[in-house]
């Protein structure tokens, strides 16, 4: 499980780094919203990975909340984005 934690952690860190770069230099606000969505999905994955490695299921509730929060944030951004363009 230590090897799993190391390999999956490196993969998650690479994905989060790429998404963070896109979040900083997104040409449009839509790209930033997409990068934030990917970052939240990676955050859910990290929480779940820590729960799997440590063997405790307490942090899975946080994963539920974060996945719902990602949907609310993405839908809210999609509603708000056309206003500041026109």
Partner 1 sequence: MSTIDLVASIALVAGALMSLLAGIAVLRFPDAMSRIHAATKPQVLGIMLLMLGVGLRLGSPAVIGVLVLIVVLQFVTAPVSAHLTVRVAYRHATDDQNSADSADGAAALPSTGTDRPAAGDAVTVDDEPAADDGPVQMAQALADENALGNPDVDPDADR
Least distance (Å) between residue 12 CB and partner 1? 5
Q: Is 41 in the site for partner 1 (CB under 8 A)?
A: yes
Least distance (Å) between residue 82 CB and partner 1? 6
C-alpha closest to that of 33 among 2, 84, 77: 77
d(CA 76, CA 73): 5
Q: Is 84 in the site for partner 1 (CB under 8 A)?
A: no
Least distance (Å) between residue 76 CB and partner 1? 9
- Straight-line distance from the first to the last Cα atom of the chain, in angstroms, rounded to the nearest whole number: 52
Q: Is 62 in the site for partner 1 (CB under 8 A)?
A: no
28-31 long-range Cβ contacts below 8 angstroms, 24+ apart: 29/77, 29/81, 29/84, 30/81
Q: Is 24 in the site for partner 1 (CB under 8 A)?
A: no
- The answer to whether 76 touches 49, Cβ cutoff 8 Å, is no
Q: Is 37 in the site for partner 1 (CB under 8 A)?
A: yes
d(CA 74, CA 44): 15
Site residues (CB under 8 A) for partner 1? 1, 3-4, 7-9, 11-12, 14-19, 21-22, 27-28, 30-31, 33-35, 37-38, 41-42, 44-45, 48-49, 51-52, 55, 57, 60-61, 63-64, 67-68, 70-71, 74-75, 77-79, 81-82, 85
């Amino acid at each position: 499980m230590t090897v799993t934690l190391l390999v999956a952690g490196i993969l998650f860190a690479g994905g989060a780094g790429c998404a963070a770069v896109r979040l900083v230099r997104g040409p449009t606000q839509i790209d930033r919203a997409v990068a934030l969505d990917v970052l939240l999905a990676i955050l859910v994955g990290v929480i779940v990975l820590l729960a799997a490695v440590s063997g405790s299921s307490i942090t899975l509730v946080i994963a539920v909340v974060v996945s719902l929060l990602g949907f609310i944030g993405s839908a809210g951004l999609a509603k708000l984005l056309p206003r500041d363009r026109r």
